[in-house]
Amino acid sequence: SSSDSFRRWLCVQLQYPHVTVIRGYLSAAASLQSSAPKMAELGAGSLLTGDPAFNYQEHELNERLKRLYPAVNEEETPLPRSWSPKDKYSYIGLSQNNLRVHYKGHGKNHKDAASVRATHPIPAACGIYYFEVKIVSKGRDGYMGIGLSAQGVNMNRLPGWDKHSYGYHGDDGHSFCSSGTGQPYGPTFTTGDVIGCCVNLINNTCFYTKNGHSLGVAFTDLPPNLYPTVGLQTPGEIVDANFGQQPFVFDIEDYMSEWRAKIHSMIARFPIGERLGDWQSVLQNMVSSYLVHHGYCATAMAFSRATETMIQEDQTSIKNRQRIQKLVLAGRVGEAIDATQQLYPGLLEHNPNLLFMLKCRQFVEMVNGTDSEVRCFSVHSPKSQDSYPGSPNLSPRHGATNAHVHNTGADSPTCSNGVTPTNKNKSHNKYTGVSSASSSPSSSPSSVNYSESNSTDSTKSQPHSATSNQETSDSEMEIEAEHYSNGVTESSTRIMNGTYKHQEILQADDSSVDDSCSSRQLCGGNQAATERMIQFGRELQALSEQLCRQYGKNATHKKMLQDAFSLLAYSDPWNCPVGQQLDPMQREAICSALNSAILESQNLPKQPPLMLALGQATECVQLMARVRSGSCSFARVDNFLH
Amino acid sequence: SFKCLVEEVTATSRHYVDRLFDPDPQNVLQGVIDMKNAVIGNNRQKANLIVLGAVPRLLYLLQQSSSSLELRTECAVVLGSLAMGTENNIKSLVDCHIIPALLQGLLCSDLIFIEACLRCLRTVFISPVTPVQLLYTDPTVIPHLMSLLSRSQHTQEYITQIFAHCCKTPEHQTVLFNHGAIQNIAPLLISPSFKVRMQALKCFSVLAYENAQVSMTLVNVLVDGEQLSQVFVRMMQRDKPIEMQLTAAKCLTYMCRAGAIRTDDNCIVLKTLPCLVRMCSKERLLEERVEGAETLAYLMEPDIELQRIASVTDHLVSMLADYFKYPKTSVLDHDLKHAHELRQAAFKLYASLGSNDEDIRKKITETENMMDRIVSGLSESSIKVRLAAVRCLHSLSRSVQQLRTSFHDHAVWKPLMKLLQNAPDEVLVMASSTLCNLLLEFSPSKEPILESGVIELLCSLTQSDSPALRVNGIWALMNMAFQADQKVKVEIVRALGTEQLFRLLSDPDTNVLMKTLGLLRNLLSTRPHIDQVMSSHGKQIMQAVTLILEGEHSIEVKEQTLCILANIADGNTAKELIMTNDDMLQKIKYYMGHSNVKLQLAATFCISNLIWNEEDGSQERQDKLRDMGFVDILHKLTQASDPNLCDRAKTAMQQYLA
């Protein structure tokens, strides 16, 4: 078959035997895993011990630490999970996965004191950090110290005796703040007691707990990067640490909730004063520019009327961008490229990288059977697959899906246009009739009887003949503005978007749509389409080589091309290791990039200020963690996105 | 000018009232609406309208069934607005019988009108000048209010707020309880409205206070499948508003004190107690700190374990020291009041903390300037502070060590003695009780107190109507007489007078009787004292002893009496009073054969003293008692299973053998 021949061609072109393609994927997957070293390490550890109870404890630990310290990035600042076998005095013995500490020296006098530190210092991003130590045995004299110390502090001592060392001692109940003489602090503690140590990284204080009761502040003005530390001094002393392996005796989450509430109310009550008016107009501009950026034309116009703000871009331009985005999101990248070239001549010529990305995507969509270049062949094949039902629409992510904002690292969040997978079924179309004009060219939509199943309007199946893409895309925009009110109340959108009954869509050949995924075939299963795809693949390869000659080697391009071509290495591209590319969600990134490029070419910001602000806020919170401002833990951006 | 302005205001006010009498109902309605807009936030206008007689007319219009619902509602709204003014406004409204009129209005079916009436009733009832009893006069009112709870969030808020303010006595609690307050209000604890949740919570705190019936019922209530105590625990979470945390902690405290929740329950130990300690922190408002400290004091009063935990929680002992740093002298009345409130709350909490544990008492007295603060607290102008200070002193005076050291160093007895002059009874009880401890024999304060001439005062306390004061008076005298000089003993007997002494021996209060016997026993110690007292009061004392031994008294009382007899038997001349009294000897014989070992022991002691060898006339006494059959009894007692009794009988028998 033609796909087989293409596969052979592909192997020659890329000088990759079939298997290498797959191996290449595997190595990519491996490198992904190595970027999370913690996981790999833990996996190895549990393999070695092979103890199911230990695995369970590890799992508990991970879950608890994630819940207690969500702001901590463990790749940057790992959390303490056990005592360090390397950072201890020789009189200290460790056992039970380095959680149990016992004394093995002579214990004659204070010169025989010995300490051990945890594996890692306490990250500032914890906000509030807590660990507990259970006194298993007080040994001969019960000279035990529980506390904190900086790296490098002498381990031949009890915590608290030296500079940058802090401790609470069991024999006299005194606290030792970098001094050999203690201050009366709390009760004494002995066998059976559970002593907790809480470090508040917001105000740099520390308090202890005994058997679940807070004993009050012990230290203030603590320096950063302290390690949990315990010290013992007489034979028989044994203590067990709990860094989160088990539930804590003290209700630390309740304490954290108080500080979360404090920080939130501090933010909520941030004084605005006389700048109130300025703030309002800034906020209005942010909302307005966001709507414009994503092309919510009618909503943006209504908003600007209501708030008396100006929109810089003219309405036609917004609608043009909107139309192009629509095409990309529908998987019709070829048409999107044509439209871009027609409306913004020179744009893609000046952005060869973007053009290449678009073409790669076009190739993927050809495999998918959605691009119009292959779609036109598939008219006689009723089984051909259509991705429109699942394609992303223009509603930005909301609510739960916002988590991605925080993973973007140094990059400011992009204006990702997406829809959660759950919307897939909702936006499925209903067909009330099959178009007879099925052979019409793809660029001109055939007339379709169509109704939005989740439309609030009861009008269904209104036959309507579309005359141009321009109009169709507009009216569809209105439908979406209705469904995704984007913060504007339902009733007001209804007023603004009075024209939403036009129910055209861009789809040309809806007759060919089949909801069932099992029948998906390469290029819609059409021979001619497949040949067109192969030809397009060759053109793409040529473009890549041309760019390579012109601008030098580009690893990203190479990877992109490889991934796209790799789809053909499998008989069922949708269920193959690189099949994710075919997911309609993958169109969002390229759609956003194209939109930004167009805006930039019009001397408009390529990012909506709202997203920029969001990105800055996210960055700022991460920066706070790095400069050891503990309140970042309770000021997370997603707490404020509802 | 100002006068002109006042006249103008009065004139417009007059106009508003006149319009209420317009024959056209439409005009009346418009008049009431205009009046509503005119009085909002205008206290002078409110006062004017009341003076000009608007209230009776508004009430008339509100009650007339011929009035439109709209008019009746607007009338209720205006009355509610008038109630929002000064306390005088409320008084005038109550005098015009606004409460029965509004309660009557609640029988209407229209929700808006009901809500307006309830809002006004709420405002009237939460005022301190309104007698709460007015809510309970008509027995149909409470059940009707209960039934209105289901109508709307507003009715819920207003009704629960009324209940929370008007439940002041055990009778009120019972009325509300019997009309299903718990079942009706419990679901409101999870209402979507914060105000409703808060008022419902307040209801439970006033219902449960010192009420075992309510508290026992509360622990078994489920709200949406969850135990009520757990709902309260959730309301104490640290991110909840302070008012909610504090009120939930009060509910659990009252349930615990009423015996419905154990003091070692986690919801008390790990939640309620720490929450109340947090309320004492400097970060809290003054009122919250006062309420927090008072509630915490109440919670742990009977439980040493809670006292121990609290004493190490969040530096509570030194945190309380901050309560004294609020300025003592201020030109502002309410500042002074706050200062008093803070100090008395701190004293109460210290008293509760130190009531059982010696280490905690030590910690308290070692707190900065603590003893000085107590001493100056004893002479403060506010009775509440004086009382709390003396309670604190009393709690600390239970420590032998403190009596020997800090109490003496700070001469606390001086202000204490001063406090005992002309103080109200509740202060007197605490002060005299503290004095009892200061008069203990090892207390270095005992001497100076004796010298200050306290005996008269104590004797006068024994004549008080209050049993607690009589006990403390006689108790203090008893402690004073212990190992005292002859001079002091004579002075006590003289000042008290035998008449009063014998009156106390027939006191209906057993404690008084016991301490009086104790006093007698202390007076009758060491031989010369025994003989002297018995020579002057022997007859009466023997009579009293006879009466008590013949009467219906507890074992302890009889034991104490037999001990007195044994002391008498130890005297040189005094023992003849027994030897010549055959009836008394028969009584002693009877008690030697009593089923209670303590009484047997005391009686044997008595005989042992009578037959003691080395004294004059011992032979005669031994012979007489042998003839009366005492030797046989003693012989029998040498076989007794109780080792003490056995030893005592053997020792007595030896007197015959020698």
The 10s digit of each residue's pLDDT in A312-355 is: 788 888 888 889 998 999 889 999 999 999 999 988 988 888 99
Q: What pLDDT score was predicted for residue A182?
A: 93
Q: What pLDDT score was predicted for residue A250?
A: 97
The answer to whether the CB atoms of A215 and B312 lie below 8 A apart is yes
Model confidence band, residue A377 (pLDDT cutoffs 50, 70, 90): low
Q: What pLDDT score was predicted for residue A484?
A: 35
Q: Among B270, B283, B311, which would you mutate to test the A interface (most chain A Cβ atoms within 10 Å of its Cβ)?
A: B270
Kindly state whether A439 is in contact with chain B, defined as any CB-CB distance less than 8 angstroms: no
What distance in Å separates the CA atoms of residue A297 and residue A317, rounded to the nearest whole number?
Answer: 10
The answer to whether the CB atoms of B270 and A186 lie below 8 A apart is no
The one-character DSSP state at A572 is S
Q: Measured between beta carbons, which residues in chain A are less than 8 angstroms from residue B283?
A: none
Q: Which of A53-62, A454-463, A560-569, B301-310 has the highest mean pLDDT?
A: B301-310
- Measured torsion, CA atoms of residues B302, B308, B314, B320, in degrees rounded to the nearest 10: 60
DSSP for A347-414 reads HHHH-HHHHHHHHHHHHHHHHHT-SHHHHTTGGG-TT----GGGS--SPBP-GGGGGGGGGGTTSPPP
For chain A positions 194-213, those within 8 Å of chain B (CB to CB) are 210, 212-213
What distance in Å separates the CA atoms of residue B548 and residue B566, rounded to the nearest whole number?
Answer: 15
Q: Measured between beta carbons, which residues in chain B are less than 8 angstroms from residue A217?
A: 315
Which element (helix H / strand E) includes A242? strand A237-242
DSSP for A472-519 reads HHHHHHHHHHHH--TTS-HHHHHHHTTTTT----S-S-GGG----GGG
Interval A131-153 mean pLDDT: 96
CA distances to A272, A335, A573, B307 from A444, rounded to whole Å, are 54, 11, 29, 85
Interval A225-251 mean pLDDT: 96
For chain B positions 194-233, those within 8 Å of chain A (CB to CB) are none
Q: Which residue of A has its CA nearest to B359?
A: A187
Spatial contact of B533 and B519, defined as CB atoms under 8 Å apart: no
What value does the mean pLDDT of chain A take? 75
Kindly state whether A215 is in contact with chain B, defined as any CB-CB distance less than 8 angstroms: yes
Q: What pLDDT score was predicted for residue A37?
A: 36
Give me the residue from A186, A187, A258 closest to B238, CB to CB: A258
| pLDDT tens by residue, B562-586 | 888 888 888 878 778 888 888 888 8
pLDDT higher than threshold 60 for residue B517: yes
What distance in Å separates the CA atoms of residue B176 and residue B187, rounded to the nearest whole number?
Answer: 16
Q: What pLDDT score was predicted for residue B331?
A: 64
The answer to whether the CB atoms of B312 and A254 lie below 8 A apart is no
Q: Among B233, B234, B238, which would you mutate to test the A interface (most chain A Cβ atoms within 10 Å of its Cβ)?
A: B238
Kindly state whether A258 is in contact with chain B, defined as any CB-CB distance less than 8 angstroms: yes
Interval B599-623 mean pLDDT: 81
Model confidence band, residue A154 (pLDDT cutoffs 50, 70, 90): very high
Interval B607-615 mean pLDDT: 79
The answer to whether the CB atoms of A261 and B239 lie below 8 A apart is yes
- Structure-model confidence comparison of residues B566 and A501, the more confident one: B566
**Which of A260, A166, A176, A160 is CA-nearest to residue A222?**
A166
Kindly state whether B270 is in contact with chain A, defined as any CB-CB distance less than 8 angstroms: yes
pLDDT higher than threshold 50 for residue A381: no
Q: What pLDDT score was predicted for residue B229?
A: 95
Q: What pLDDT score was predicted for residue B273?
A: 98
- B512-516: long-range contacts, CB 8 A cutoff, minimum separation 24: B512/B462, B512/B467, B512/B470, B512/B471, B512/B474, B513/B553, B513/B557, B514/B556, B514/B557, B514/B560, B515/B471, B515/B474, B515/B475, B515/B478, B516/B474, B516/B478
What distance in Å separates the CA atoms of residue A417 and residue A329, rounded to the nearest whole number?
Answer: 9
Q: What pLDDT score was predicted for residue B6?
A: 56
Q: What pLDDT score was predicted for residue B640?
A: 81
Interval B509-518 mean pLDDT: 88
Burial of B406-426, coded b for 16+ CB within 10 Å and e otherwise, reads bbbebebbbbbbebbeebeee
The question of ipTM being above 0.95 is answered as no
Q: Which of A29-38, A403-412, B279-288 has the highest mean pLDDT?
A: B279-288
Q: What pLDDT score was predicted for residue B593?
A: 82
pLDDT higher than threshold 70 for residue A479: no
Which element (helix H / strand E) includes A130? strand A128-138
The answer to whether the CB atoms of A257 and B239 lie below 8 A apart is yes
Model confidence band, residue A383 (pLDDT cutoffs 50, 70, 90): very low
Q: Which amino acid is at B79?
A: L
What distance in Å separates the CA atoms of residue B576 and residue B591, rounded to the nearest whole number?
Answer: 20
Kindly state whether B239 is in contact with chain A, defined as any CB-CB distance less than 8 angstroms: yes
The one-character DSSP state at A110 is G
pLDDT higher than threshold 80 for residue B90: yes
pLDDT higher than threshold 60 for residue B402: yes
To the nearest whole Å, the CA of A140 is away from the closest chain B CA by 25
Spatial contact of A624 and A632, defined as CB atoms under 8 Å apart: yes
Interval A31-55 mean pLDDT: 46
Interval A268-288 mean pLDDT: 83
Kindly state whether A572 is in contact with chain B, defined as any CB-CB distance less than 8 angstroms: no
Helix (H, G, I), strand (E, B) or coil at A184: strand
**Which of B151, B150, B141, B139 is CA-nearest to residue B121?**
B141
Which structure tokens are listed for A38? 């913690």
